[in-house]
């Protein structure tokens, strides 16, 4: 284990939300927002501070789709594949993004930790289908070509 992990960030998240078992999901969300994933070091630490077993925290973290135990890219691209986006052809957009970045449904993050591409069931912006989001910013009425364009612009910011 990494001995030099700095827990002050984790501590301030716990203090902000209250050191209680029911806050575990919110605490994990806070940690993931900071690190873009859940570093393994936090599990034993949280278990000790909250007084619950590591297994219990791990079971919660692995149940919810939003938590990731692997580092995510700087830009997390979510392609909406809800019904409305699906019938307006969201899959070709997903395929283009994966092709451009050399990703697949198994390998979701690029080697340089620049991009993560995942699908999401519905973002509630169905009127603008198909949509994708990049770090929670919504991009409406996408096409595969617009997606390539967006990627090129984002690569400049890496």
Q: From the CB of 91, what's the least distance to another protein, in Å?
A: 10
**Is residue 106 close enough to count as binding another protein by CB under 8 A?**
no
**Is residue 47 close enough to count as binding another protein by CB under 8 A?**
no
Between residue 48 and residue 77, which ones bind another protein under the rule CB under 8 A?
59-60, 63-67
Of residues 34, 53, 83, 143, which one binds another protein by CB under 8 A? 83
Distance CA 51, CA 32 (A): 21
Which of 12/59 has CB closer to another protein?
A: 59
Residues that bind another protein (CB under 8 A): 21-26, 28-29, 59-60, 63-67, 81-84, 86-88, 120-129, 131, 136-140
């Amino acid at each position: 284990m990494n001995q030099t992990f700095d827990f002050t960030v984790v501590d301030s998240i716990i203090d902000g939300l209250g050191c209680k078992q029911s806050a575990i999901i919110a605490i994990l969300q806070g940690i993931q927002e900071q690190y873009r994933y859940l570093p393994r070091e936090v599990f034993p630490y949280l278990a000790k501070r909250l007084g619950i077993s590591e297994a219990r925290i791990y079971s919660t973290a692995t149940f919810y789709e939003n938590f990731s135990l692997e580092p995510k890219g700087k830009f997390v691209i979510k392609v909406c594949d809800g019904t409305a986006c699906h019938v307006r052809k969201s899959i070709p957009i997903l395929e283009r993004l994966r092709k451009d970045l050399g990703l697949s449904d198994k390998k979701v993050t690029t080697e340089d930790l620049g991009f993560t591409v995942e699908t999401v069931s519905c973002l509630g912006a169905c009127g603008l289908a198909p949509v994708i989001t990049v770090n929670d910013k919504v991009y409406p009425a996408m096409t595969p070509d617009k997606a390539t364009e967006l990627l090129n612009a984002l690569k400049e910011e890496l």
